[in-house]
């Protein structure tokens, strides 16, 4: 017996039935309380049933009663999250926070109802918008979070679309409705993709915390898409044949690792829509302008460092701590890409205005004021960044304009075609010589510069890799 007792010395005693029961109650009533989900389901179901009963009336309660209760419940969720944080129970507080995010998406379709109430509905939509930002602020205070400007911007774009678009649908044609919804969804998705949308916590993040943040953004995305589908059914419009497929490569351009891939994605998308659905060219050109503008204003492509999670994650109901993680941004595009991307934005806007109303066949007529405007914009960009090559896109514009207006007679005979080819050959020769002289002079100046003034291969201003890119390339 003494030998047996010696072997078991140091082993903790088996937990008693009372200890096991307390641990089980702590998990189910403190950490993973299913009553929160049941409460939200009961409130939502009850509001749905009540709204069916009172929807036929004309009283204030019929139109604003159920949305008011939904807003009150959302504030109660935020208050409950703040209470749990004060108690030190952050995990169940995050659950209440996710439920509050769910109610941020107007589950009762209040903004759609407001579009039928005239001026009163506009005031109610404005009040809903103010409550949206108030709840967002209070949610951050309750969970001790700080939202970045890009996170607030994405949330604001979504809320503005929900509050304003239903009122616009009442006064525009079905075709315009589909375009507005497509542009809103694309602008929302592209802005979300091209910005960091950082949400910082006062106590730092672990893997579960980041999953909650990602889950919150996913909830908002699903709610926005759900409202768009509801609008399509209620306001009788569909999405264009070329718009929806075109959005995929344009949004995916955010994750391109090189500038050339961004240009390839945008160019091929626009050309494909011009060929397949020419009447939607101007819409896709606007989407391309958004993509290039965001790429230019971000100045660089960004990507997140990969967070290495445990190969075998601990059980779902586990007390094992997880390592904290951080988000580091590195830059892949050189700064000299900004001028080209800004010029691409101007050209995409030019194409959108020029092709508005075009349904295929011969290209539309040129507008001299539009050609002059884009010419001035490119000239200003060339002078601003001291890059004459930014004027190159004007060449096809001028050539097509002169041919369309008949300022240069179109060759018809073999003699005229031969003379045209000879002239084009001389122009290409002298243009190539001028380009060789210009770029050769630039390289010669750099080669004869003092060693301290020569651009470093790691200096972005000198055309090299950015330091973060060089380090990431070396580590890979």
Q: What is the pLDDT of residues 29-52, one digit of tens each?
A: 666 778 888 999 999 999 988 887
Q: 128-142, 245-259, 344-358, 450-464: which has the minimum mean pLDDT?
A: 450-464
Tokens representing 303 are 């990507």
* pTM of structure: 0.76
Q: Supply the pLDDT for residue 51.
A: 83
More confident residue, 341 or 456: 341
Residue 226: pLDDT over 90: yes
Q: Is 386 left (phi over 0), alpha (psi -120 to 50) or beta?
A: left
Structure tokens at 92: 């169940």
343 near 381, Cβ under 8 Å? yes
Q: Are 159 and 129 in contact (CB under 8 A)?
A: yes
pLDDT of residue 284: 95
Percent of the chain as helix, strand, coil, to the nearest 5: 70, 5, 25
- Residue 327 neighbours by CB distance under 10 Å: 13
pLDDT digits (tens, 9 = 90+) for 378-424: 999 999 988 888 888 998 898 888 888 878 777 888 888 888 889 88
How many CB atoms lie under 10 A from the CB of residue 476? 5
Who's near 270: CB < 8 A, 6+ residues apart? 281, 284, 285, 288, 348, 351
Binning pLDDT at 50, 70 and 90, where does residue 210 land? confident
pLDDT on residue 190: 92
Q: Which pLDDT tens digit goes with each residue over 240-283?
A: 667 888 999 999 988 887 888 899 999 999 999 999 999 999 99
Tokens at 323, concatenated: 């390592």
Candidate from 82-86, 333-337, 471-475 with smallest mean pLDDT: 471-475
Per-residue model confidence (pLDDT) at position 404: 83
User: Which single residue is written with the structure tokens 């800004």?
Assistant: 342
The alpha carbon of 58 is separated from its chain's Cα centroid by a whole number of angstroms, namely: 40
Helices 243-252 and 281-298, packing angle to 10 deg: 20
pLDDT digits (tens, 9 = 90+) for 150-181: 999 999 999 999 999 999 999 998 888 999 99
pLDDT of 426 higher than 80: yes
Measured CA to CA, the distance from residue 270 to residue 291 in angstroms comes to 12
What's the whole-number mean pLDDT along residues 285-310? Answer: 69
Q: Is the pLDDT of residue 351 over 70?
A: yes
Residue among 102, 183, 101 at smallest CA distance from 139: 101
The stretch 194-215 carries a mean pLDDT of 84
Question: Would you place residue 334 in the very low, low, confident or very high pLDDT band (cuts 50, 70, 90)?
Answer: low
- Taking residues 61-65, what's their average pLDDT? 78
More confident: 24 or 140? 140
- The answer to whether 386 and 336 are in contact (CB under 8 A) is no
Residue 222 scores a pLDDT above 90:
yes
Half-sphere exposure of 346 (CA within 13 A, CB side): 22
C-alpha distance from residue 66 to each of 61, 109, 364 (Å): 8, 10, 52
**pLDDT value at position 12?**
47
Q: Indicate the average pLDDT of the chain.
A: 80
């Amino acid at each position: 017996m003494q030998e047996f007792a010696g072997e078991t010395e140091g082993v903790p005693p088996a937990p008693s039935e009372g200890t096991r029961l307390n641990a089980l109650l702590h998990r189910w009533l403190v950490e993973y309380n299913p009553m929160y989900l049941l409460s939200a389901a009961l409130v939502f179901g009850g509001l749905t049933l009540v709204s069916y009963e009172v929807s036929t009336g004309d009283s204030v309660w019929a139109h604003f009663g159920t949305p008011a209760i939904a807003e009150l419940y959302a504030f109660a969720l935020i208050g409950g999250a703040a209470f749990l944080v004060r108690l030190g129970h952050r995990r169940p507080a995050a659950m209440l926070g996710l439920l509050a995010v769910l109610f941020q998406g107007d589950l009762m379709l209040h903004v759609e109802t407001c579009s039928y109430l005239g001026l009163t509905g506009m005031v109610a939509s404005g009040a809903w918008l103010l409550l949206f930002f108030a709840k967002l602020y209070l949610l951050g205070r309750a969970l001790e979070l700080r939202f970045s400007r890009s996170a607030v911007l994405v949330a604001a774009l979504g809320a503005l679309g929900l509050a304003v678009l239903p009122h616009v649908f009442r006064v525009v044609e079905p075709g315009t409705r589909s375009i507005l919804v497509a542009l809103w969804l694309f602008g929302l998705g592209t802005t979300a993709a091209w910005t960091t949308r950082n949400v910082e916590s006062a106590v730092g993040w672990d893997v579960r915390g980041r999953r909650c943040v990602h889950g919150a953004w996913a909830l908002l995305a699903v709610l926005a898409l759900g409202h768009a589908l509801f609008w399509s059914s209620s306001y009788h419009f569909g999405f264009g044949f070329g718009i929806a497929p075109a959005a995929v490569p344009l949004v995916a351009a955010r994750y391109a690792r090189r500038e050339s891939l961004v240009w390839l994605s945008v160019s091929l998308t626009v050309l494909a829509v011009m060929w397949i659905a020419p009447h939607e060219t101007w819409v896709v050109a606007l989407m391309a302008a958004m993509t290039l503008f965001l790429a230019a204003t971000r100045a660089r492509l960004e990507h997140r460092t990969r967070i290495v999670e445990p190969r075998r994650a601990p059980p779902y109901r586990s007390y094992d701590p997880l390592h904290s993680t951080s988000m580091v941004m590195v830059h892949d595009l050189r700064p000299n890409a900004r001028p080209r991307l800004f010029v691409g934005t101007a050209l995409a806007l030019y194409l959108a205005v020029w092709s508005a109303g075009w349904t295929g066949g011969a290209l539309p007529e040129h507008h001299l004021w539009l050609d002059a405007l884009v010419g001035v914009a490119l000239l200003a960009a060339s002078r601003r960044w001291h890059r004459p090559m930014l004027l190159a896109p004007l060449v096809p514009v001028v050539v097509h304009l002169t041919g369309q207006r008949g300022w240069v007679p179109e060759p018809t005979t073999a003699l005229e075609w031969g003379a045209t080819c000879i002239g084009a050959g001389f122009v290409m020769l002298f243009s190539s010589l001028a380009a060789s002289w210009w770029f050769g002079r630039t390289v010669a100046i750099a080669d004869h510069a003092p060693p301290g003034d020569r651009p470093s291969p790691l200096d972005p201003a000198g055309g090299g890799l950015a330091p973060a890119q060089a380090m990431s390339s070396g580590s890979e």
